[in-house]
Amino acid sequence: MNRFRTILKNYWGYDSFRPMQEEIIQSVCSGRDTLGLMPTGGGKSLTFQVSTLSMDGLCLVITPLIALMKDQVDTLRQKHILATAIYSGMSQDSIIQSLDKCLFGKYKFLYISPERLETELFLSYLPNLNICLLTIDEAHCISQWGYDFRPSYLNIAKIREMLPGVPVLALTATATPEVAKDIQHQLGFAKENVFQTSFARRNLHYIVRQVEDKQKYLLRVLHNVEGSAIVYVRNRSKTKEIADFLEENGIVAESFHAGLASREKNLRQQRWMDDETRVIVSTNAFGMGIDKADVRIVAHIDPPDSIEAYYQEAGRAGRDGKESYAVLLSSPSDKRIVLKRISDHYPSEDFIRKVYAKVCYHLYIAEGEGEGCSYPFDIMTFCRNYRLPIQQTLSAIRFLELCDYWSYTEQNDDPSRLMVIVGKDELYYNRQLDNGTLDPLIDVVLRTYPGLFSQYVHISEELIGEMLGWDREKVYKSLSSLRQQGYISYIPAKKTPFLTFQHYRIAEDRLSLTHLGLPVRKKIYEQRIQSMLHYATNKETCRSVVLLDYFGEKGSAPCEACDVCRSKKQNGRNHRIQILGEKILSILRKQPLTAEEIVQRIDETNETEIIAVLRTLCDIDLITLKDNQFQAK
């Protein structure tokens, strides 16, 4: 047994790797930059985890998903593999403590978001960290032509310059051949090196239904197929509307979207993970980094913007390899709605300049001011005040972010804040009245977050819980109890969007937008929209074949399980039955015959099918049965 399989067996208990995992590991451990294209649930994380455990040093994992960070860190620790993550809400002392441990070799894995790569603190540690592997999860985000491009990912290329000789492992579940090439270019691969498993998911049956009443049909699907489900919609209000509809019809469902408070999102997600809730109705904010293998249905009420997004979201069904369904509900009005997204996502340059000027007016920023300043920014209030369309305005803000005029954190967590509002003596004396049950909490909080007696300090309930061995809910309730007793002021985390100006304000007519390549980006987006519409309206080609062809897998065999394949089978069967019926009628018009005699005369068809056709012909009154003989009318 080679060293990689030994590690796999010792830590994960598996005797063999999944397709392409071992090849990727061997490539990385040979020092080669590597791009791994593996479908959702294909075991991407094992490729960098096993690689790192076979090397000397620390693996730096860059991922945008805080939920995935925490889940993987917890999973690794359960296997006695030392790992840590740095995320929003951690105190400066906690971050330094984690980095110090990395510096002295106490951890094998450090998870970090791309936004933190440029912080002074992290950059001061980076040259001295013994990094053996740089892993980029959701690597399609670095491609400017990818469906989910994120400017913060461009920082990774700069980090590479500080890590000479360290191989890169880029991982993604969705990339066309063009995007795969761009990922390698953006990451500075010395040589193209791609390992790709098939995008085919044979256990996942793709179904498209053209229906007028989508909610009614969704209910039918959920009644016909048992098990956990995710239902995707485009807007937040619709998540509640459909969840309420399902609840009214006896299906336990909850809504989910990025605007919920972090605590509420965690609770709803956990209830679904524990099967207390059967259906989560969500925007695309749900699912990334969620490791639930037994999802039986992923349904889309609204079509996504791209095949990539659809494939990734649909792929959250059936990760355990059992029969599952990806259902897209379509209606005639969808095409008009989807095509409108093009103008919403790609406003004119004049509109972008207009938004820049009005944002500056809104925030009272004069020309020559604002550089390096951050401002709370509620886009709903802004659009209402200036009577601007929300989606086009958001797109304009994003394009100005690409131009580096500002950065916009739409879903930034404003971490929980805490301040002790009684004196030290009173706190230490009065807390004994509570039988000392909160003593450990108070000790950890005071030890971890200095300055609490004089000012508000950002805290992390997750970190406190980790140090106490408590879950987040217990920490929250205990802090709320201390607040109610008048010992502390505690403000739980909330969502606060921010705009941070990278440069001082300039006149809008001086904005440089030409390098954005808006016409090219718009054309690529239009192509994605058209590909999605083709998938939804196609009635001739196997759904799986359409998807695989999009991702560069040409000449794939039909799946035999999607609605198109099933329809062709049924049509073929109907055609055979029609021909067989005509043949039987032709024979019986000459003379009456028994069933056995008819079977003998048509020996190329199986007896069961002939008997079925005879019954059908009787039912529709084309033949009769008398004295055990069939005869034509």
What does the block give as tokens for 597? Answer: 């005699």
Domain tally, the chain: 5
Residues 375, 230: one domain? no
The answer for 616, left when phi > 0, alpha when psi is -120 to 50, beta otherwise, is alpha
Tell me which residue range forms the domain holding 134.
3-196
Q: Who has greater pLDDT, 539 or 581?
A: 539
323 domain-assigned: yes
Residues 314, 405: one domain? no
The pLDDT tens digits of the residues spanning 288-304 come to 767 788 999 999 999 99
Flag whether pLDDT at 94 surpasses 90: no
The pLDDT tens digits of the residues spanning 557-590 come to 999 999 999 988 888 777 777 888 888 888 888 8
**Quick one: CA dihedral 314, 316, 317, 321, positive or negative?**
positive
**Torsion angle in degrees (nearest 10) through CA of 103, 108, 110, 111:** 180
Residues 6 or more apart whose CB falls under 8 angstroms from that of 338 comprise: 303, 305, 529, 532, 533
Residues 6 or more apart whose CB falls under 8 angstroms from that of 310 comprise: 300, 303, 304, 328, 532, 535
Residues 6 or more apart whose CB falls under 8 angstroms from that of 105 comprise: 58, 130
Residues 6 or more apart whose CB falls under 8 angstroms from that of 27 comprise: 34, 193, 195
Q: Who has greater pLDDT, 20 or 427?
A: 20
Whole-angstrom distance, CA of residue 378 vs CA of residue 595: 77
163 domain-assigned: yes
Residues 302, 354: one domain? no
Residues 281, 397: one domain? no
521 domain-assigned: no
137 domain-assigned: yes
Residues 248, 99: one domain? no
pLDDT of residue 425: 76
Residues 312, 181: one domain? no
The pLDDT tens digits of the residues spanning 332-361 come to 889 998 999 998 999 999 999 999 999 999
Residues 21, 126: one domain? yes
Please give the model's pTM, rounded to 2 decimal places: 0.77
Provide the CATH number for the domain around residue 475.
1.10.10
Mean of pLDDT values over 312-325: 92
Provide the CATH number for the domain around residue 509.
1.10.10.10
Provide the CATH number for the domain around residue 126.
3.40.50.300
473 domain-assigned: yes
523 domain-assigned: no
By C-alpha distance, which of 217, 219, 226 is closest to 297? Answer: 226
Residues 46, 132: one domain? yes
488 domain-assigned: yes
556 domain-assigned: no
**Quick one: CA dihedral 583, 584, 588, 589, positive or negative?**
negative
Flag whether pLDDT at 411 surpasses 70: no
What does the block give as tokens for 628? Answer: 């055990």
Q: Report the Cα 477 to chain-centroid distance in Å.
A: 30
Residues 322, 347: one domain? no
Residues 309, 404: one domain? no
Residues 407, 388: one domain? yes
* Strand residue runs (E) in 197-354: 204-210, 228-232, 253-256, 279-282, 295-300, 324-330
Residues 506, 628: one domain? no
